[in-house]
Amino acid sequence: MKRGENWGAFVFPKWTNLLRPVLAATLVLVPAYVVVLLAYGASPRTTNVGYRPVQPVPYSHALHAGQLGIDCRYCHNTVEVAAHAALPPTQTCMNCHARIRSTSPKLLVVRESYATGLPIPWVRVHDLPDYVYFNHSAHVRRGVGCVECHGRVDTMDVVTQVHRLSMGWCLDCHRHPEPHLRPPDMVTKMDWVAPEDPDVYGKTLRQANNINPPTDCWTCHR
């Protein structure tokens, strides 16, 4: 090879020159695709919505909360006074099922839990990251209905996550809470409907109850 000649011409055939634009586009587009995949595909917006784990007991909210009309607070009895919505102890289940369908094979895990004193290993559906602080009582006592976050669980045989519960989703509500507000005594009424435009009615409730949701970082990241 003479001085000044392109050594590549001796190593690669001429047709490989056609690959240059393809390789250049690949180097640009692949990293961009990876960034989009990680930013969106792995975000709560897409990974959590639709999550419906199999529970150790086939408990139907559609039957208990829907058809039978059992109030959410009968089982989750701390939502008005504590940050966490407590899972019901086995005794709560046995209050009814010691007499109703007491031999059903579907309730075997419940009976075993009651006999041994070990808790039923329920699988959490709406599970926020450990670095997020959320207080149930602060919301339900101000008139944010259960349905706003959990959806119409009274129609679900298997509880499913219907909202993404991301930081942006929470901030949207804190910045504009009006359409999500209702009278506090209606928070567990799943089919409640505002008597007028939700924004207008919610504005009235917001003013009457002095509701001003904070949006600073410390609110959720303590």
Name beta bridge partners: 144.
Answer: 181
The answer to whether the beta carbons of residues 211 and 205 sit under 8 Å apart is: yes
Q: How far is CA 50 from each of CA 14, 54, 165, rounded to the nearest angstrom?
A: 53, 13, 12
3 assigned to some structural domain: no
Q: Is residue 178 domain-shared with residue 110, that is, in the same domain? A: no
55 assigned to some structural domain: no
Q: What span, in angstroms and rounded, lies between the C-alpha atoms of 91 and 117? A: 10
Both tokens of 152, joined, read: 């119409």
53 assigned to some structural domain: no
Q: Is residue 194 domain-shared with residue 146, that is, in the same domain? A: yes
| Containing structural domain, residue 74 | 60-87+126-219
Per-residue confidence band for 11, with pLDDT thresholds at 50, 70 and 90: low
Average pLDDT over residues 95-107: 97
Using DSSP's 3-state secondary structure scheme, residue 181 falls into strand
Q: Is residue 74 domain-shared with residue 170, that is, in the same domain? A: yes
188 assigned to some structural domain: yes
Per-residue confidence band for 21, with pLDDT thresholds at 50, 70 and 90: confident
Helices and strands in the chain: count of H runs, count of E runs: 11, 0
51 assigned to some structural domain: no
Q: Is residue 136 domain-shared with residue 83, that is, in the same domain? A: yes
Per-residue confidence band for 10, with pLDDT thresholds at 50, 70 and 90: low
13 assigned to some structural domain: yes
77 assigned to some structural domain: yes
Q: What angle do CA 183, 199, 206 make, to 5 degrees?
A: 45
Q: Is residue 188 domain-shared with residue 117, that is, in the same domain? A: no
Q: Is residue 83 domain-shared with residue 188, that is, in the same domain? A: yes
Q: What span, in angstroms and rounded, lies between the C-alpha atoms of 99 and 95? A: 8
Sign of the dihedral through C-alpha 84, 109, 62, 64: negative
Q: Is residue 167 domain-shared with residue 178, that is, in the same domain? A: yes
For residue 85, pLDDT beyond 80: yes
Q: Is residue 105 domain-shared with residue 69, that is, in the same domain? A: no
Question: How many structural domains does the chain have?
Answer: 3
Specify the pLDDT at position 163: 95
Please state the pTM of the whole predicted model.
Answer: 0.77
Q: Is 61 exposed, middle or buried (0-12, 13-18, 19+ CB in 10 A)?
A: buried
End-to-end CA distance of the chain: 69
52 assigned to some structural domain: no
Both tokens of 127, joined, read: 């599970």
Distance of CA 3 to the CA centre of its chain: 67
pLDDT digits (tens, 9 = 90+) for 140-176: 999 999 999 999 999 999 999 999 999 999 999 999 9
Q: Is residue 154 domain-shared with residue 168, that is, in the same domain? A: yes
Q: Is residue 173 domain-shared with residue 74, that is, in the same domain? A: yes
- Please provide the average confidence, as pLDDT, over all residues in the chain: 88
